[in-house]
Structure 1
């Protein structure tokens, strides 16, 4: 059997997409379809059927997938051990899943590190979807993901940063100059950000403390919070401490520690478990880890109404 047919099969199995497979393999979608047709004839099985916008594997495809992936991994391992991955000449495109904060605070340093060693490599950022990221990593849809969540699956991971959370409120809030108790925190109206990937961990810490919070306003982006909070006499928000301290230098905000026990959130770097181009992913994982561990993040672009930049040393 033509080894390229096996590679096409594994790619379609992982991505569930002819389009993504063609991009990953650097061939046309027509070439992927033709390879899949030849493989179907060889194995006398449809292998994949269209369902809900994706290529869903048949029972036979599910049965042979692990063996095909293992075979490819061994072959690629032998080739890469002989030739290695050349970052300086590679023109691969890598996909990294990042939250809004990740894209703002970490992407510039990641790009600088990657581009320095691999000037022809392309980086595509995918919006982090907590409910889907495990599947994306399993199927190789993304190469890396940066998330505070403890993902299921046997993914290689590394804790690259730790960050606490703080409570911010306007300086005109009557509680601004007073100690923030658990009771007061629970009683105050809250604002939340849908793109905050650490929000589920905050909810867990609140539940352990017996606190129930239902936000009365939910915004899509952190940039909407400063003006919203500072112009309210009651509204509060629980946000990463680094951003809170930075905003307090340019906005009339009071910053309080969270009034309940909450360990710092650990930010994890995950790499995909798929078998395609393992040497390249090894290099990317190590390079991104060094970028995240070695420098502070920069959140100066999170401001509103052209307020002065707020620089912060956190994540």
Structure 2
């Protein structure tokens, strides 16, 4: 969670000591200005976000440049683009400022009506379609100072990005979460289905027929092997992936006009009536545990008050009966079984 605003208030409160020496000559205003410019790529926008003047932002950047011996940002294509050093500094500065805010947040908690911050959540496009509309409705209604920023990630990126402070939380399918400072709450569990066009002759789906088919896969970021491939490898098999796309939203259309098979959570095909039109759905012909859509976040003792509030909001939204529009009828497979 970008905690620029709350840290800025703290720095203003201590302005009486503005002339006191700082370690290494760095004041928190410099770090806040750096983060704001890095994320906005524009001095005017950065100044507006953290409620400072453009001249104050420019002054802080000038001080940072002198201290680091580097331009940090250069104007390119009408935007403030970070230099190599600026790019390298960002995760460290973001983590440092996040730590300061989390320490303060543990002391005073989070005031949803008063505090302002950017809530940064990592999701795949499937989780984004599933959750972000309702999440934004809740944020808009309850927290006038919160800005929601959704970033596209894969399940392997959730852990390092939350740990580094680049994200406040991540919501992904089958998340990888091993670090002791993190916790993973399961929000939803969805069974896998195998989908293909209704034009494909498939009275019954056997493992042999599954392995003979050409497959469609979704790869987000650098992810190469997902849960389906891991399950197949466990029984000594591998599917032939002939088509790879970066988003789940493309899958139904590609299947309708091809002989490709796709194996994904049933929600990919049931998010609306149009998503499964012209498709047939089958239960996988091998053991495949349901997709666990989980929320990865810092443990309660490590998180700021705002981060804890955000996690509780997401969990309550999903737990509410029919509240998030997440309850779906189970589709019937071609064999007549529930998928």
TM over 0.5: yes
Give the alignment of 1:70-89 within 5 angstroms: 73-78=102-107, 80=108, 84-89=109-114
Give the alignment of 1:33-52 within 5 angstroms: 46=68, 52=84
Whether 1:157 and 2:155 are equivalent positions in the alignment is no
For 1:31 and 1:129, locate their aligned partners in 2 and report how far apart those are by CA, in whole Å. Answer: 38
2:195 is matched with 168
- Partner-residue secondary structure (3-state), 1:106: helix
Note closer, same or farther for the CA distance 1:91–1:229 as it changes in structure 2 (3 Å cut).
same
For 2:224 and 2:293, locate their aligned partners in 1 and report how far apart those are by CA, in whole Å. Answer: 9
Ranges in structure 2 where 5+ consecutive residues have no aligned partner: 1-16, 41-45, 73-82, 331-339
Asked if the contact 1:136/1:142 (under 8 Å) is kept, the reply is: yes
Asked if the contact 1:72/1:275 (under 8 Å) is kept, the reply is: no
2:306 is matched with 280
- Measured after TM superposition, the shift of residue 187 of structure 1 is 0.9
Whether 1:144 and 2:195 are equivalent positions in the alignment is no
1:113 is matched with 138
Note closer, same or farther for the CA distance 1:222–1:92 as it changes in structure 2 (3 Å cut).
same
Kindly report the root-mean-square deviation, in angstroms, between the aligned alpha carbons of the 2 structures: 4.3
- Measured after TM superposition, the shift of residue 160 of structure 1 is 0.9
Asked if the contact 2:159/2:176 (under 8 Å) is kept, the reply is: no
Asked if the contact 1:49/1:56 (under 8 Å) is kept, the reply is: no
1:104 is matched with 129
Note closer, same or farther for the CA distance 1:143–1:18 as it changes in structure 2 (3 Å cut).
same
Note closer, same or farther for the CA distance 1:236–1:74 as it changes in structure 2 (3 Å cut).
closer
- Partner-residue secondary structure (3-state), 2:241: coil
Asked if the contact 1:96/1:143 (under 8 Å) is kept, the reply is: yes
**In terms of mean alpha carbon deviation, does 18-27 or 215-224 score higher?**
18-27
- Measured after TM superposition, the shift of residue 96 of structure 1 is 1.2
- Provide TM-score, normalisation by structure 1: 0.71
For 1:157 and 1:12, locate their aligned partners in 2 and report how far apart those are by CA, in whole Å. Answer: 32
**In terms of mean alpha carbon deviation, does 210-219 or 69-78 score higher?**
69-78
Note closer, same or farther for the CA distance 1:117–1:168 as it changes in structure 2 (3 Å cut).
same
Note closer, same or farther for the CA distance 1:8–1:249 as it changes in structure 2 (3 Å cut).
closer
Note closer, same or farther for the CA distance 1:249–1:49 as it changes in structure 2 (3 Å cut).
closer
1:221 is matched with 247
Whether 1:261 and 2:280 are equivalent positions in the alignment is no
**In terms of mean alpha carbon deviation, does 152-161 or 244-253 score higher?**
244-253
Cα deviation 1:57-94 (Å, max 9, x = unaligned): 6xxxx8xx99998776544433x1xxx32112333221
- Measured after TM superposition, the shift of residue 286 of structure 1 is 0.6
Ranges in structure 1 where 5+ consecutive residues have no aligned partner: 300-310
- Measured after TM superposition, the shift of residue 257 of structure 1 is 0.6
For 2:275 and 2:160, locate their aligned partners in 1 and report how far apart those are by CA, in whole Å. Answer: 40
- Partner-residue secondary structure (3-state), 1:19: helix
Higher relative contact order (CA 8 A, sep 6+): 1
Asked if the contact 1:96/1:125 (under 8 Å) is kept, the reply is: yes
- Measured after TM superposition, the shift of residue 40 of structure 1 is 10
Asked if the contact 1:162/1:264 (under 8 Å) is kept, the reply is: yes
For 1:273 and 1:47, locate their aligned partners in 2 and report how far apart those are by CA, in whole Å. Answer: 37
Of residues 122, 129, 152 in structure 2, which corresponds to 1:127?
Answer: 152
1:308 is matched with none
- Partner-residue secondary structure (3-state), 2:226: helix
2:10 is matched with none
